[in-house]
Amino acid sequence: MELLFLGTGGGTPSRQRNVTSIALLLKGARSGCWLFDCGEGTQHQILRSPVKPGKIEKIFITHLHGDHVFGLPGLLTSRSMSGISGAMTLYGPKGLRQFVETSLSLSGSWLTFPLEIVEIEAGEVLNDGHFRVVAYPLTHPVECYGYRIEEHDKPGALDAARLLADGIKPGSLFQQLKQGKTVTLEEGRVVNGQDYLGPSLPGLTLAIFGDTSPTVAAQALAAGVDVMVHEATLEAALEEKANGRGHSSTVQAATVARDAGAKRLIVTHLSSRYLREDVSRLLEECRAIFPNTEMAHDFSLFRIEK
């Protein structure tokens, strides 16, 4: 899988950063794409990226502040005007349905594809057999969530040599055995695929935070994840100001990653006050606490792997 950051600014866009949207490219799992938030101008960012609107299966909204949702009506209507018919599901806090339906109705817009809107609460919001997504409540002036994405463990490698030694010839049954299923051979022998599989391969885990000041849910949301994405709206010297507006500082983001046992931290959602020359200083504030920290810029692409 890969994370592509379409917008990495906080609050308002700047010349160097658009407002928030992150694409999760499900490579290796399937060809689709999930979006996390859809700030104003996201569809313009998509035009400059490898993301295809027709491949977007789901959009997860962390909260209803404009810098996270104002791009949603435009993306939905442009997707329709392109004649895309593939279904899409939106997940987000209460009020998301009203926001979308009112925007479409008042603008005289319509959709050419099935759209499902799921207004969530804390807890599991999705389990499709390949991924499980759990929402955790964050601390922000409006209802806001972070999403933990867990890829289900993958079956271990099939020991073909053992199968051959036991007189089981290659064929269509091998695929079923590789999935751990029990099959019956032509001669009536019953074979359990689990007996011929190596140790299962753990799936990838991600934590994508919405806007938040320090919160009790952070440790559970990010516990042991392979990649954690967290806002770092302001520098450490402005921590009190950040917290007063429901945001976190560089040091606070890094502290969550360290205490949660995350393996890798990507910081995003920087205030528009910061220019390119400020990046190294902000990044060093994070790395002093959690060395394996990277900073996202618009169109940054990060591969997610064990």
Residues that are catalytic: 67
Q: What's 213's DSSP letter?
A: B
> At residue 287, what is the residue type?
R
What does the alpha-carbon distance between residue 116 and residue 118 come to, in Å, rounded to a whole number? 6
φ and ψ at residue 203, rounded to 5 degrees: -75, 170
Closest CA to 93 of 119, 60, 125, 65: 119
90 sits in which H/E element:
strand 88-92
Closest CA to 213 of 234, 184, 183: 234
User: Burial letters for 275-298: b for 16+ Cβ neighbours within 10 Å, e otherwise?
Assistant: eeeeeeebbebbbebbeebbbbeb
**Taking CA 20 as the corner, what is the angle to CA 16 and CA 23, rounded to the nearest 5 degrees?**
105
